A and B are shown apart, each in its own frame.
Chain A
Amino acid sequence: MSIDKIQAMALSMRRRMLEVSHQCGLTAHLGGGLSMVEAMACLYGQVLRFDANNPRWDGRDRFILSKGHGVLGYYAALWASGVISDDVFATFQANGGDLIAHPVLNLDLGIESSNGSLGQGLSMGIGIALAARKKDKDFRTYVLLGDGECNEGSVWEAAMLAAHLRLSKLTAIVDYNKLQSDGESRNILQVDNMAQRFAAFGWHAIEVDGHDVGQLLDAFAQPTTDERPKVIVAHTVKGKGVPFMENDNSWHHNRLSKDALDKALAALDQA
Chain B
Amino acid sequence: MLEINSRNARQWSRLGSRATFGTAILDVAETHPDLMVLSADLGNSSGLDRFIRAYPEQFLNTGIAEQNMVGIAAGLAKEGFNVFATSFAPFISMRGGEQVRMNLGYMHLNVKAVAIGSGIAMGLLGNSHYGLEDLAVMRTIPGLTVVSPADCSEIVKTVQAAADFDGPMYIRLTGGPDNPVVYAEDYDFQFGKAVSLREGAEVTLVATGTMVAQSLKAAEILAEAGILAGVLNMHTIKPLDGEALLQAVAKSGRLVSVEEHTMIGGLGSALAEHLAATGTLVPHLMIGLPDKYVKAGQYGWMLEQLGLTGAAIAERVRSFLGR
Binding site for B on A (CB under 8 A): 104-105, 113-115, 117, 119-132, 134-135, 153-154, 157-158, 160-161, 164
Contact = CB atoms under 8 A, between A and B. Distances in A.
B110 to A, nearest CB: 12
B45 to A, nearest CB: 20
A123 B74 CA distance: 9
B98 interface: yes
B79 A126 contact: no
Interface string B48-78: 0000000001001011010111111111111
B165 interface: no
Which 9 pairs, one residue from A and one from B, show the smallest C-beta to C-beta distance? Answer: A127-B75, A123-B71, A131-B79, A157-B68, A157-B65, A127-B72, A124-B75, A128-B75, A127-B76
Interface residues of B, number: 28
Given A105-B107, A124-B103, A161 B75 contact: no
Contact of A161 (B63, B76, B98, B101): B63
B290 interface: no
A78 to B, nearest CB: 18
Given A131-B80, A134-B57, A135-B80, A123 B63 contact: no
Q: Name the residue in A105, A126, A127, A129 with the highest tally of chain B Cβ atoms < 10 Å from its Cβ.
A: A127
B99 interface: yes
Contacts, number: 93
Q: Find the residue from B67, B71, B98 having the highest chain A CB count within 10 A.
A: B71
Interface string B263-282: 00000000000000000000
Contact of B68 (A131, A132, A135, A154): A154
B79 A117 contact: no
A158 B69 CA distance: 9
A124 B73 CA distance: 8
Contact of B67 (A129, A131, A154): A154
Given A160-B63, A161-B62, A161-B65, A127 B99 contact: no
B68 A126 contact: yes
B54 to A, nearest CB: 16
B98 A117 contact: yes
A201 B273 CA distance: 49
A31 to B, nearest CB: 24
B68 A158 contact: yes
Nearest to A160: B63
Contacts of B75: 123-131
A7 to B, nearest CB: 33
A124 B63 contact: no
A164 B69 CA distance: 14
Nearest to B78: A128
A123 B106 CA distance: 16
B107 to A, nearest CB: 5
A132 B73 CA distance: 14
B97 to A, nearest CB: 11
B184 interface: no
Contacts of B36: 134
A113 B72 contact: no
B124 to A, nearest CB: 29
Contacts of A120: 67, 71, 98-99, 102-103
